[in-house]
Amino acid sequence: MDTTVTILVPTYNERDNVIPLVRRIDGALAGRSYQVVFVDDDSKDGTAQVAAALSPEYPVRVIVRRDKRGLASAIVDGIKETTGQVIGVMDADLQHPPETLPLLLDEIENGADIAIASRYIKGSGLQGWALARRVISRGASFLARMLLPFIRPVKDPLSGFFVFKRRVVAHANLRPTGYKILLEILTEGESAKLTEVPYTFEARSKGQSKLSIFQEIDYLKHVYSLMKRRGELFRMVKFSLVGISGVGVNIGILYSLTEFAGLFYLASAAIAIEVSIISNFSLNNYFTFADRRAPGITGFFRQLGKFNLVSLVGLAINAAVLVLFTETFGVYYIFSQLFGIAMATAWNYLGDIWWTWK
Ligand code: GDD
Ligand code: MN
């Protein structure tokens, strides 16, 4: 068993950061057995050479990849090329303060499988981020936690700074696109115990961020791929099918009560709405959200109540969009209605996955 703590650091053009980084890691991990492994994507500024020159003095290793590019895939290669049983991941640019490493390692020693340095819990901070970047980061985080319910307990699933036990990924088929290696590990890895430790994400000291619109697109592709792998995409399809079945139920009841029972059509419509909500709920409960179904009869009625509320708000959204688009924007009423249905369905899905079957 290799008990060395392996710190994987992806680099691309970080020449001026590697020396202060290694010095600070060495200071923070004094007394522990550790190794810093740089995974460099053939930087043009001599990062690999500067890092390699540190190796007589510090336990530093450099892996250079010639044609592969990408932060997350660099970490996957770093995992494959090393044997340490505890692995840390952090950026080279000193935005992730090495002094947080001992706190993360303490969590691992106390039984955590993954310890995440978090920007979004009590005691955390963010330095030098413009409002736009804060909003994008929060939005991206929210999107992941919404669409991938299994990572919801993690407040900062997009963190690039964390420590984990190798056994978490021992049987995992890691195949990330883009930046977010932690998301991949949370999806494919096996971890029983997660903890988060606050830290302050510092301003970049030297060099430039590589984050661009391409990473944002990669991020969306990655979330889509993770949804597919974990059956979350299929869940959306099931939810839509149930919704369509509800339309059938609604029309059937509306017609029968009006034609055969002689009810006024608006009274039939009110009953039809409630009956279709109940049938949608039952189908979703045993089909779409079978894995998140609350136990017992109280659980059933609590979720039914929530589902009812979400659906009624959905109906109001549908009606409001219909009226607004038709009356105010002069849109053909059938198109307004189609748009209203789309908005209400999105609302219902998010409300139900976030709240009803949380
Ligand atoms: N090997 C390799 N290949 N490394 C890369 C590549 C690449 O294609 N792109 C970036 N890196 C390295 C950088 O050299 C740096 O060490 C680290 O990955 C982070 O890159 P930045 O460009 O500084 O990213 P950021 O500061 O915008 O975002 C980081 O911090 C966020 C908050 O923790 C990333 O780690 C995000 O994933 C993270 O959410
Ligand atoms: Mn950075």
| Claim to verify: residue 162 and residue 247 sit in the same structural domain | no
What's the number of domains the chain is made of?
Answer: 2
DSSP state of 86: E
239 class by beta-carbon count within 10 Å (0-12 exposed, 13-18 middle, 19+ buried)? buried
Q: Is 74 in the pocket of ligand 1 (CB under 6 A)?
A: yes
| Claim to verify: residue 106 and residue 180 sit in the same structural domain | yes
| Claim to verify: residue 62 and residue 129 sit in the same structural domain | yes
| Claim to verify: residue 248 and residue 221 sit in the same structural domain | no
Q: Take residue 296 and report the two structure tokens written for it.
A: 């017992």
Can you list the alpha helix ranges (DSSP code H) found in the chain? 15-28, 47-52, 71-80, 101-109, 131-147, 181-188, 213-229, 232-259, 265-283, 296-323, 333-351
**Atom number of ligand 1 nearest to Cα 17:** 16
Residue after which a domain boundary falls, among 173, 200, 230: 230
CA of 121 to the centre of ligand 2 (A): 20
Helix 15-28 to helix 101-109 angle (10° resolution) is 50
C-alpha 204/C-alpha 42 separation (Å) is: 21
User: Ligand 1 pocket: which of 68, 210, 213, 216 to mutate (most atoms <8 Å of CB)?
Assistant: 210
CA of 11 to the centre of ligand 2 (A): 10
**Atom number of ligand 1 nearest to Cα 13:** 14
Give residue 352's Cα distance to chain centre: 18
CA of 202 to the centre of ligand 2 (A): 9
Q: Is 93 in the pocket of ligand 1 (CB under 6 A)?
A: yes
Q: Tell me which amino acid residue 320 is.
A: A
Q: Take residue 350 and report the two structure tokens written for it.
A: 């998010």
Q: Tell me which amino acid residue 266 is.
A: L
Q: Helix or strand or coil: residue 120? A: coil
Q: Take residue 92 and report the two structure tokens written for it.
A: 């080279």
| Claim to verify: residue 305 and residue 190 sit in the same structural domain | no
Dihedral sign, Cα of residue 57, residue 61, residue 65, residue 70: negative
**Atom number of ligand 1 nearest to Cα 117:** 33
How much is the pTM?
0.89
Q: Is 135 in the pocket of ligand 1 (CB under 6 A)?
A: no
User: Ligand 1 pocket: which of 65, 179, 214 to mutate (most atoms <8 Å of CB)?
Assistant: 179
CA of 315 to the centre of ligand 1 (A): 43
DSSP of 232-271: HHHHHHHHHHHHHHHHHHHHHHHHHHHHTS---HHHHHHH
Q: Which helix (H) or strand (E) holds 325?
A: none
Bin 201: left if φ > 0, else alpha if -120 < ψ < 50, else beta.
beta
Residue after which a domain boundary falls, among 230, 257, 290: 230
Q: Is 176 in the pocket of ligand 1 (CB under 6 A)?
A: no
Q: Is 17 in the pocket of ligand 1 (CB under 6 A)?
A: no
- What backbone torsions phi and psi does residue 22 show, to the nearest 5 degrees? -65, -40
40 class by beta-carbon count within 10 Å (0-12 exposed, 13-18 middle, 19+ buried)? buried
Tokens 């492994």 — which residue? 37
Q: Is 268 in the pocket of ligand 1 (CB under 6 A)?
A: no
| Claim to verify: residue 236 and residue 189 sit in the same structural domain | no
CA of 95 to the centre of ligand 2 (A): 6
Q: Tell me which amino acid residue 174 is.
A: L
| Claim to verify: residue 200 and residue 242 sit in the same structural domain | no
Neighbours of 209 (CB within 10 A): 11
What is residue 100's predicted lDDT score, i.e. its pLDDT? 98
| Claim to verify: residue 214 and residue 264 sit in the same structural domain | no
**Atom number of ligand 1 nearest to Cα 179:** 37
- Tell me the ligand closest to 133's alpha carbon: 1
Domain that holds residue 79: 5-230
What is residue 119's predicted lDDT score, i.e. its pLDDT? 95
| Claim to verify: residue 216 and residue 284 sit in the same structural domain | no
Residues of the chain with pLDDT under 70: none
Going by C-alpha positions, the residue among 88, 65, 53 that lies closest to residue 11 is 65
Q: Helix or strand or coil: residue 1? A: coil
CATH at residue 194: 3.90.550.10
Residue after which a domain boundary falls, among 230, 265, 286: 230
- Among protein residues, the one with the nearest Cα to ligand 1's atom 30 is 160
| Claim to verify: residue 243 and residue 225 sit in the same structural domain | no
- Partners of residue 351 on adjacent β-strands: none
Q: Take residue 346 and report the two structure tokens written for it.
A: 């999105």
Going by C-alpha positions, the residue among 125, 260, 263, 256 that lies closest to residue 202 is 125
| Claim to verify: residue 51 and residue 141 sit in the same structural domain | yes
Give residue 228's Cα distance to chain centre: 13
C-alpha 83/C-alpha 85 separation (Å) is: 6
| Claim to verify: residue 267 and residue 297 sit in the same structural domain | yes
C-alpha 317/C-alpha 121 separation (Å) is: 33
What is residue 210's predicted lDDT score, i.e. its pLDDT? 82
Tokens 């991938």 — which residue? 148
Q: Take residue 196 and report the two structure tokens written for it.
A: 């988060």
* The pairing of beta strand 162-165 with beta strand 86-89: antiparallel
